[in-house]
Structure 1
Amino acid sequence: MEGCPWQTVSSKKGTKKRRNKTRAEIGGERTGSCEIGCQDNEVDCGQIKLKIQQAKEDLTTSTFWYFCQRLIEECLGKFIEQIKEKQSFSAEGIHPGEDPAPKCVHQQDTQTSEPKEETVESRHGFNCVCYGVGRFSSCVISRYQLALLLLLLEKLQVPKHRCHVFDPLFSRWEIAVLQALGLTVIFENEEGKHRIFTPTIFYMIHCGKALYNNLLWRNWSVDALSKAIIIGNSFKRIEERRNRLSTGATGMDDTTNISTEARQQMNCK
């Protein structure tokens, strides 16, 4: 009887240690499983890139991508035309009389349009910034969003190294895949405060309002905002939702008055 309490205490401590150790091991396994898509060897990384390629192929045969291209031609054609008009007032002069600029975005046009599209891109120095694409190694939705981004870069002939990508959820294996694809990974969290110096496409599908607010606040000038195209949430719907909920004002309140918006449902089927 005298030894029982000591044996009991010793047993509880040992059990507690073993339980803690077991929980720590399980936690480690869970952490590792989040990155298992590309952790073991290069074959797994290749499989992820293969899945991304398959997602691209699925998109290219979808009606969604067909309507996306039409939207790109409409919006980007006007955007390029406006930039050309602004540059025509410069000392260089960029043939404002020739007006095939909107057609330069058409991928299926004649072969003569392709070199013009490259010239437009090189003149205007298109950049792309992608926020919040998510864990594409394990999430199918994120993978299709990344595939769509890659198709957009090809469509607009934006060099991949000029597309800067950031998501705080990226594993180091996903970063390796992005770099292998030729994209430039942002390692510092900008919180959306990316300065605009050249015409820039922001790919921000399903990002939160705070990120949009920060982006607009950082570039709240006529010169900067006139160089921005945002592929993301609808500003008008955000404003409508805010009005319905009677929430406080946001930095996006004036944006609907100075921006042009075109909508496309995110449905790949």
Structure 2
Amino acid sequence: MPDSQAHAATGLPTRIDTSVAHEARVYDYWLGGKDNYPADRALGDAIATHIPAIRGMARANRAFLGRAVRYLVGTAGITQFLDIGTGIPTAGNTHEIAQHLDPAARVVYVDNDPIVLAHARALMASTPQGRTAFIHADLHEPDSILSDPALLSTVDLDRPVAIMLVAIMMYFRDEDDPHAIIERLLAAVPSGSCLVITHPTADFDERAMARVVSSAEHAGITFAPRSRAQTETLFAGTELVEPGVVPVVTWHPELTGGLAPTVVADPESAWYWAGIGRKS
């Protein structure tokens, strides 16, 4: 039986409110999932009116996650992952890719959406050799994650850990001090650990992204796109892995897991910056 566990942090709602949109469910909708509701689809469609290619962009962001995990296990030699803002389980979850490459890999997922908590069992389908866990917690309070028993019993914080912040930091305004949150996470892991970030940007179409921000805010969801330079500052305390912070579809497109290499026809086809930084 795989050694896995789930833990719900206190203070977060566990009831699923389908009357309001939630980031994880909107993203699920764009990816073609079924765990979304009318409010989520309404916001997803509203954003799609401003960015018709948003579904393809969501898939491109998801594909990057797979390439990043392959790099981390295969090249960086990291087999422990803290995946924050993991979203609703779909094909190619972090533990599936990592444990395919190294069956002993360990993964802790974190999300604040109760629907993700409801699907935690799928996120914990570990190999017998590895371990997975799920924490119902909020990144606004990083210490609630770092002190959680599920984290401490799943990963060894004396060994390198990959901190995965894939499409999550846009939900933090500057006044939320995202730099301090990331700094706290990095302080908890040793040298050789890596920080993975993707972040939507207005750099490729400022007016369209402004309308997306307005739609999200109207639905009660914070949405703060950042420029390339602003995204680079989130990697403070790390050394960027080549090729640095780049359009998400251009970050090591060859890491396809044995499939034909991705052909990047338009580097700006997905409006995300992406990168990996290594803690020295």
Higher RCO (Cα < 8 Å, 6 or more apart): 2
TM-score range, shorter chain: 0.3 to 0.5
Rg: which structure is higher? Answer: 1
Structure 1-normalised TM-score? 0.37
Q: Which has the higher strand share?
A: 2
Q: Which has the higher helix share?
A: 1
